[in-house]
Amino acid sequence: MSIRPHSTTETPLIVLEDACKYFPVRRGLTRRVVGHARAVDGVSLAVARGEALGVVGESGSGKTTLARLVPRLIQSTRGRVLYDGQDVETASGRDLIRIRRRMGIVFQDPSSSLNPRTPVRGSIARPLELQGIRGKEATRRVLETIELVNLGAEVLDRYPHQLSGGQQQRASIARAIILRPQLLILDEPTSALDVSVQAQILNLLQSLQAQIGLTYLFITHNLSVVRYMSDRIGVMYLGRLVEVAPVGPMQDRPLHPYTAALFSASPPLNPRLRNRQRYRLVGDPPSLISPPPGCSLHPRCVFAVEQCREEVPLLVDAGDGRQVACHRWMQLALAVQTG
Ligand SMILES: Nc1ncnc2c1ncn2[C@@H]1O[C@H](COP(=O)(O)OP(=O)(O)O)[C@@H](O)[C@H]1O
Ligand SMILES: [Mg+2]
């Protein structure tokens, strides 16, 4: 996908500044707090209008928590979350409703947005109802929206369990866009679907983005999906962003050893690249409750030096619209062979 031109003077739609979410971890009969899981740990990020930003990382790296901070479905522990220049964390109830009206959210599990006890018409029309839009106007908008997601009117009177997985996810998308939001937050929207259905939904999301000018915050653990859907990719490891870059440059020349390992683990589509250099990590991800000091990747990184064991690397500008959080990125030159 090409990168759309963004005006640099325009306020980004989403800004995160050192956003943190620590969950208390409780143990034993007394449910004593024994520590905190640093699900999101100091994430700074800006998403431009009309951009598709993909966030990729292993399970448990904090992607869902990050997604939930944007509409304040959870309150951050520290840092700031701005939506269209407005502070989401300190917004009054009324302002928060106004902010949320401009975002749609699609989860992995369609049952999070489709009520199993009512025909899907009710679930799709629910956001309209909350805005006081009913009757003929509501019907008109529902029909217009299900056409956008390529569903026929006949599905409206069916219950969610009478729909296929793909149809359910289309209905969830219809609900998410019925108020014509600026932003769609998509949290693993296709991870529960068969590969062929997954491709259809991804194509639908791409055409919707072009048709109604949406901004995407696209969360997935699937590298192929994130490459296909994003203009830029943010890579998360243990609650931190380790690298942010446009898709092409990131896959050709990752700057962070973790990104390099991630891309090495998935076979390149181009057969000429099959024998490119591979980067592997050693061992398993450590605990979020007591992450290693310094760079949290250091126990698994073959390039780690003394500094990596002591100092937390900050996400710094690496030129060409790229950012990386690694003390050694300049020396490493992890370029994968480009055939
Ligand atoms: N409500 C919660 N209470 C306690 N811990 C949580 C909660 N939500 C998430 N976590 C923890 O935060 C970490 C990140 O979780 P999550 O954001 O769901 O990651 P991902 O979506 O990348 O798999 C995990 O270790 C998870 O157990
Ligand atoms: Mg998740």
Cα-to-centroid distance, 240 and ligand 1 (Å): 13
Listed residues: CB within 5 A of ion ligand 2: 64
Cα-to-centroid distance, 162 and ligand 1 (Å): 31
Ligand nearest to the CA of 108: 2
Measured at the CA of 283, the angle between CA 282 and CA 286, to 5 degrees, comes to 125
Asked whether the beta carbons of 72 and 96 are under 8 A apart, the reply is yes
| C-alpha of 121 from chain center | 28
Pocket of ligand 1 (CB under 6 A): 23, 37, 39, 57, 59-65, 288
Per-residue pLDDT of the chain (339 residues; tens, 9 = 90+): 444 555 556 899 999 999 999 999 999 999 999 999 999 999 999 999 999 999 999 999 999 999 999 999 999 999 999 999 999 999 999 999 999 999 999 999 988 899 999 999 999 999 999 999 999 999 999 999 999 999 999 999 999 999 999 999 999 999 999 999 999 999 999 999 999 999 999 999 999 999 999 999 999 999 999 999 999 999 999 999 999 999 999 988 999 999 999 988 766 556 555 555 677 888 888 888 888 999 999 999 999 999 999 999 999 999 999 999 999 999 887 755 433
| CATH number attached to the domain at 8-102+182-230 | 3.40.50.300
Residue of 36, 41, 65, 238 best suited for mutating to test ligand 1, as the one with most atoms within 8 Å of CB: 65
Report pTM: 0.92
Q: Which atom of ligand 1 is nearest to the CA of 188?
A: 21
Q: Which atom of ligand 1 is nearest to the CA of 221?
A: 22
Secondary structure class of 293 (helix, strand, coil): coil
DSSP class of residue 335? -
Nearest to 13 by CA among 96, 92, 90, 88: 88
Domains of the chain, residue spans: 8-102+182-230, 111-180, 253-339
